[in-house]
Chain A
Amino acid sequence: MNALEINAVSKRFGDVVALREMTFEVRAGEIFGFVGSNGAGKTTTMRIVLGVLAADSGEVRWRGEPLGLESRRRIGYMPEERGLYPRMKVGEQLVYLARLHGLSAADARRSMEAWTERLGVAGRRGDDVQKLSLGNQQRVQLAAALVHDPEVLVLDEPFSGLDPVAVDVMSDVLREKAGEGVPVVFSSHQLDLVERQCDRVGIVSAGRMVAAGTVDELRTGGTVQLLVDAPEAPDGWADGLPGIQVVGREGTVTVLETEPGADDQAVLRAALATGPVREFVRRRPSLTELFRHVVADDQKEDTR
């Protein structure tokens, strides 16, 4: 039972409600993607998990126990606002951070060497952090999150500012850590990346978890689109079909939305009745579309 559980965590800053009973779980060996608009509460949630911010109510548990200073040392953290000593050498800095997490001097050095090698900054160990390019600073920042061999990973926007090669390295590292049974949670605005990377996704809006599950689970809840390429079909050919709505038409392709339980074969028959049908595609919404939907719905509810 290695899961990281966030249980009904609430937080307000003055009059602003940042988190409203935020609840989710990151299971052992799972990569959990944390998505939401700016200000939705992702960073606040992560900072509460790391104990740099105190929750007003609710609790964070790991291995069934509430997190304390000692167990938090087992977390690898990448803060949204990147932070390293600008005038300290890369190697010394990583060794120092590893030792603050309880590693012995020898283990810390070994781990620093391994991670700088793995992340491609081994040649910069003797340089001050401020002398590194932004991309390399990001790599060092990731090394700082990994150098104490953490048993939980909490990464706030780990992919932002990375070059494509570094994105691949980062993805591999996350996958590998999850493979070791580590719960991994990261936030990102790059939804295609989240869709590819994550076992499960949580969508946050206005301080609440509005949807959580595998990408497939989230999709089944949404509407399915049909793309029909029928060149000879007149406008309005699909009107009146039960459970079907026309979203638009681009050239010869008509985009339709089906309500759950609607008969897509009736659509195909109607299309064939107009002439040839070159393409008939069932398209499930991407995470991006899902996200827009969920967040838009949620905000509508809020204003209601």
Chain B
Amino acid sequence: MSALSARQAVLLVTRREIETRILSKMFLIFTGLMLVTVIGGSVIFTLIGGSSAVTVGVTDPALARPLAAAADALGEDVETRTVPAATGEKQVLDGELDVFVTGTATAPKAVVKRQLDPALQAALASIARQTALDAEIARTGGDPAAANRAAAAAKVDVQRLDPQAEGFGERIGLGMFAGILVYLILLVYGQTVVQGVVEEKSSRVVELLLTSIRPTQLLFGKVLGIGVVGTVQMLLVVVAGVVSAQVTGLFSIPASVITWAGFWALVWFLLGYVMYALMFAALGSLVSRQEDANGVVTPVMMLIIVPYVIGVSVLPADPDSGLVELLSLIPFFSPTLMPMRAAFDVPAWQVALTLTLTVLLIALMIQLAGRIYRNSVLRTGTRIRLADAFRDA
């Protein structure tokens, strides 16, 4: 028989939490689903992205080259082939062709099943205009080739001031994905903490446990154990996401941006988890029945849900949003908003500030949650008022 140190007591509780949860069906199913979503998502998006070429059938082979060139200039990938006039329409109906072009160069006629791709329409229009223009220039005795060269030389030079303009849409997608992931896993494991705390109260086992260990040892052991399980899951999903995105070549932005986004998602999950889990545990200890748990933890749920909703609705349209930037500096909201912003370049001072504030808030929460939990975990029956839980019995 040896004395049990505080560290040993916490680790025993932690171990129980990990052992009972990491092998649970819930964990395995949830993790499996997330992995399938992430890996499958990368593969599917890559496949969709790769098959975007438009197949165009032309009756006049002379039209094929200028059409491809004009479409290419407009950022459209076009595959052309020469088709007999008689079967063109049928091939469009059968889906073998996206577009069937007949008529002359100056008056082309595009046959489509439903809608003509706007870029392709612009390309056809430009070819028609060019042909008419060439004919007119030749008629007035000019040199169409010289005129075209002059026209080609006259272009707008665009200077992009934002270095992140490259792959802008991809960064938004990446940020949103990181945000959703952190949000989901925070919610799931926050709820797990609440259920764990309330289960010990409702089953009264807590009275037995607290004859051998201190309330704070039970609290920290539980938060730590569930945190390890959540981190394992988060790590699996992030690694699977980063690796599959790079293997499939889903993104054109530099690989380091993706890796950093994954890194920050992990960091903010960890910090957010500790912060919210302590709040969840403290509030959960106020009630003795699972039915009462939802009501009492709603304020913490809101701390997670509200900034998340603001983030996903504002950021895709306006990644530089001042509102989101400001909110993300508030430590209660940083864990959900910072991972979304991490796909863009966040000023270093903001990263340093949010990390510092969040760590300070966690330190405060350790004190507060320890006090509330200690004062309320053994009081069963009706819901305890928060003010009463602050007062030492």
Contact = CB atoms under 8 A, between A and B. Distances in A.
Contacts of A81: 204, 207, 380
Nearest to A82: B204
Interface string A140-161: 0000100001000000000000
A96 B207 contact: no
B278 to A, nearest CB: 22
Given A70-B3, A85-B199, A100-B9, A79 B207 contact: yes
Interface in A78-110: 79, 81-88, 92, 96-97, 99-104, 107
Contacts, number: 71
Contact of A85 (B1, B2, B12, B205): B205
A65 to B, nearest CB: 15
24 contacts: A51-B210, A52-B210, A53-B378, A69-B212, A69-B214, A70-B3, A72-B212, A79-B204, A81-B207, A82-B204, A83-B207, A83-B208, A84-B203, A84-B205, A86-B203, A96-B12, A96-B16, A97-B209, A100-B9, A100-B12, A100-B212, A100-B213, A101-B212, A107-B1
A70 B2 CA distance: 10
Contacts of B86: none
B51 interface: no
B393 interface: yes
A50 B206 CA distance: 13
B4 interface: yes
A104 B203 contact: no
**Contact residue range for chain A?**
20 to 34
A104 B2 contact: yes
Interface in B146-172: none
B211 interface: yes
A77 interface: yes
A73 interface: yes
A300 to B, nearest CB: 32
Q: Which of B3, B20, B205, B380 has the most CB of A within 10 A?
A: B205
Contact of A100 (B207, B209, B378, B393): B209
B204 A102 contact: no
Contact of B211 (A50, A85, A87, A104): A50
Nearest to A75: B211
A54 interface: yes
A85 B19 CA distance: 14
Nearest to B392: A54
A24 B20 CA distance: 42
Interface residues of B, number: 26
A96 B378 CA distance: 20
Interface string A253-295: 0000000000000000000000000000000000000000000
Contacts of B1: 102-103, 107, 149
Interface in B1-29: 1-4, 9, 12, 16, 19-20
B9 A54 contact: no
A54 B393 CA distance: 8
Given A73-B4, A99-B12, A52 B211 contact: yes
A103 B3 CA distance: 9
A162 to B, nearest CB: 18
Contacts of A77: 208, 211
B4 A83 contact: no
Interface string A111-142: 00000000000000000000000000000000
Looking at A52, A81, A107, the one whose CB has the most chain B CB atoms below 10 A away is A52
Nearest to A70: B3
A125 B1 CA distance: 24
Nearest to B1: A102
Contact of B208 (A54, A69, A97): A97
Nearest to A79: B207
